[in-house]
Amino acid sequence: MNILILGHGVIGSIYGYIFQKNAHHVRHLLRDNPTQKNGQSININMLDGRYNKKGES
């Protein structure tokens, strides 16, 4: 499975390591300049059971 992780912080690194150890292809999406603010945004729907126990959006 191909997995894209936003950022390369502690949590992203841990999850990336775990997915990679389980034979998944992991890529991290990083900003070119972390101190520069730009007007782009990404909307993400999380299906991890926090809002709906069945994991449905």
**46 vs 10 pLDDT, higher one:** 10
Average pLDDT, the chain: 79
| Entry pTM | 0.55
Contact between 2 and 27 (Cβ < 8 Å): yes
Q: Which of 32-56 are b and which e, b meaning 16 or more Cβ less than 10 Å from the residue's Cβ?
A: eeeeeeeeeeeeeeeeeeeeeeeee
**Helix runs in 1-57, H state only:** 10-21
What's the confidence (pLDDT) of residue 53?
64
